[in-house]
Amino acid sequence: MLIQMDSIEQVYCKGVIDVFALQQVNLTLAEGEFTAIMGPSGSGKSTLLHILGCLDCPSHGSYALDGINISDLDDTQLSLIRNQKIGFVFQSFNLLPQYTALQNIESPLLYSPKMISKDSRSVQNSGSLSVSRDKERKARAQAIAERVGLGNRLHHRPSELSGGEMQRVAIARALVTQPRVILADEPTGNLDSRTGQEIMNIFQTLHEQGNTVIIVTHEHSIAAYAERIIFLKDGRIEREENVAKRQGSAALRGGEDNRRQPSPPRRAALPYMLPSVLDTAIHGVLLHKLRSFLSVLGIVFGIAAIIAMLGIGAGARQEIIDQIALLGTNTISVNAVESSDDMVNRGKDQLSQGLTYEDVDRIARVSPFIEYLAPVREFSFQTQYQRQIVQARIIGTTPDYQSTGKLNLSQGRFITGADEREMRRVCVLGADIQQALFAFRNPLGKMIKIRNDWFRVIGTLQNKVLNQKKISSIQLRNVNSQIYIPLSTSSVFSSPQESERIQEISIRVDKPEHVDDVARLIRTVLTRVHHGAKDYEVVVPRELLKQSQQAQNVFNVVMGSIAGISLLVGGIGIMNIMLATVTERTREIGIRRAIGASRRMVLLQFLIETLVLTLVGGCLGVILGTGGAYLITLFAGWRTVISPQTILLAFGVSAVIGIVFGMYPASQGSNMDPISALRYE
């Protein structure tokens, strides 16, 4: 037997009162029967139909469908039964309004393992599982639609169809998975008499083709189409009537021998179901485009803030790294500090003379790791060649400065030891000074006037590309606008009282790993010699990088907190919208459950909808953040760097927000009772 019910009872608790919707129902139906269930309102017709359709389980008794005991099945197995063995036709049609007639007909196939198993066997030859499944799904839906007379209305939505056409769509949807039994609940209740007769003729034809049809009705004219009529009253089967079979109906069905053998429902692996669920979820998101867009604005701004924040932080770090690369990771700079009058007086009391030549000698003896050491004195004077006059920085130094300052010659030579010893009036020009004074002429051997003294040009430097933006704690000289002269010669520009003072000591260590040790020794020596006076500072580029990173971490925490608040608000907004969406689409959930969607599939659908929203928000946030970073660079002059890791992080954050804030609305939708959902208005 196709259907076997033994002592079925359905009890509902209304407070302390038990209401019996069905009592001691015993029913046996063979395959190929056309059965009508009649009775007054409240007799239990719909309850019996819901149990027959596996939308509900009986409180007591046993129910076997196609040899399978329904009482022993979980939700997923019941969903497979509804999808593969049962086709529903509802009085109110229950079509999905956002889908066309063709899409409504093929909607049960979205959850059909039969389609997937066939495609999975042929995918090795076709090379495309999704394309093959879509083609077969549409072909089957079109074939069923033509059987019920809908061939020319497949691309219209339910709102554009008549009542009869909508019921034909519902019948085609019930047939598309080739079920074992078709259940129709008042299929003509919302139709006029002529259209109702046409629908019943379709059911009659389906019966004659061998389909098992069960109709719930209160009209005797409709029940007259059936071979067997079951009358219910007060939840019990009152009586049965057998109607004489129409002539030739058995022959048209092909006899008992052609009936299908019982078979268990097929189960599909989740990866094969994902394309269908994803397609359904995207349709759900596109139902209300403006609402979907507004709901993700919080995510957009939060992700944009993260992108911009990380871009600014990475840009600042890279800028410092570039500046340090110009200085060298194995360099140390000891700079004289211009102190206030109180500090100067206190320094004099402590017998400190500031940074002097003697400090250079002391530092040179500190460590064998020091390769080059160059004292520096700096002035700013007008420089003239013929009628060309420029303001230049005059650097008095020693030959070692070429190595400590990483200077590259364009032509000529740099200062030598002989120039230093003999106090020669020679100079080396930076690229900008050479261009300003000599344009495209060769300056070697020419005499230029620095303040009131004449110097011979012995060399020029290559142009050095520098970021003109000033960075705190890193004093980079623009070598292109400087003129280098021997340190001894620079005494002509200073007073006798300042002749021993210098502004900087530039040091180069043999290896970067020795820099910290050498810097510690230098600080120890100078602290002792200067008697604790703070009239100098030791600048180590490697230490500046660490300090900058600490400051950047504080900035990241502040900006990250702001972005986090935005993401939290955005996530709550999305959860609120999804809760409203679940409530709004309650009937849709009931329809999908009736055609074979399990709780897991409904959960996955709404979770993917939330993920789609947040990932789209993440994508828009990446675009906005990248554009904002570009504008910051353009107008504020801050360097920004956006790496692929930053973009991946943004999408990762979006996905996490989608999962966290989408799980509750999705679970609310998946836990809905399908019968209550179908009745929701």
What does the longest C-alpha to C-alpha distance in the chain come to? 133
Q: Note whether 238 and 231 are within 8 A (CB).
A: yes
Instruction: Give the strand pairing for 426-429 and 482-486.
Output: antiparallel
Rounded CA-CA distance 228/220 in Å is 12
Q: Which of 159, 180, 155, 174 is nearest to 30 (CA)?
A: 180
Rounded CA-CA distance 187/203 in Å is 10
The predicted structure's pLDDT at residue 268: 54
Rounded CA-CA distance 11/21 in Å is 6
Residue whose token pair is 């469908």: 65
First to last CA, the chain: 37
**DSSP SS3 for 244:** coil
In the beta sheet, which residues pair with residue 65? Answer: 3, 68
Alpha helix positions (H), 350-450: 357-364, 401-404, 417-421, 431-438
The rounded Cα 371 to chain-centroid distance in angstroms is 52
Treating both helix axes as pointing N-terminal to C-terminal, what angle do 541-584 and 297-327 enclose, rounded to 10 degrees? 170
What's the half-sphere exposure (Cβ side, CA atoms, 13 Å) at 561?
Answer: 5
Residue ranges and CATH numbers for the domains of the chain are: 3-255 (3.40.50.300), 285-321+547-679 (no CATH), 328-542 (no CATH)
Q: What are phi and psi of 486, to 5 degrees?
A: -60, 140
- Helices (H), strands (E): how many in the chain? 23, 20
pLDDT digits (tens, 9 = 90+) for 552-607: 778 778 877 888 888 888 889 889 988 988 998 899 999 999 998 889 889 988 99
Residues in Cβ contact with 663 at an 8 Å cutoff, skipping those fewer than 6 apart: 607
Residues in the chain with pLDDT < 50? 117-127, 247-258, 349, 470-473
Rounded CA-CA distance 310/552 in Å is 10
Rounded CA-CA distance 94/99 in Å is 12
Q: Note whether 459 and 485 are within 8 A (CB).
A: no
Alpha helix positions (H), 32-128: 45-52, 75-85, 101-106, 113-126
Q: Which of 436, 423, 548 is nearest to 489 (CA)?
A: 423
DSSP string, 575-591: HHHHHHHHHHTHHHHHH
Instruction: Give the strand pairing for 409-412 and 331-336.
Output: unpaired
Q: What are phi and psi of 97, to 5 degrees?
A: -65, -25
- The structure tokens listed for 658 are 């989608």
Q: Which of 220, 194, 259, 214 is nearest to 3 (CA)?
A: 214
Rounded CA-CA distance 227/223 in Å is 9
Q: Write the DSSP symbol of residue 504.
A: E
Which class for 510: exposed (0-12), middle (13-18), buried (19 or more C-beta within 10 A)?
Answer: middle
Rounded CA-CA distance 646/325 in Å is 24
Positive/negative CA dihedral, 343, 344, 350, 355: positive
Q: How many residues comprise the chain?
A: 681
Q: What is the pTM of this model?
A: 0.70
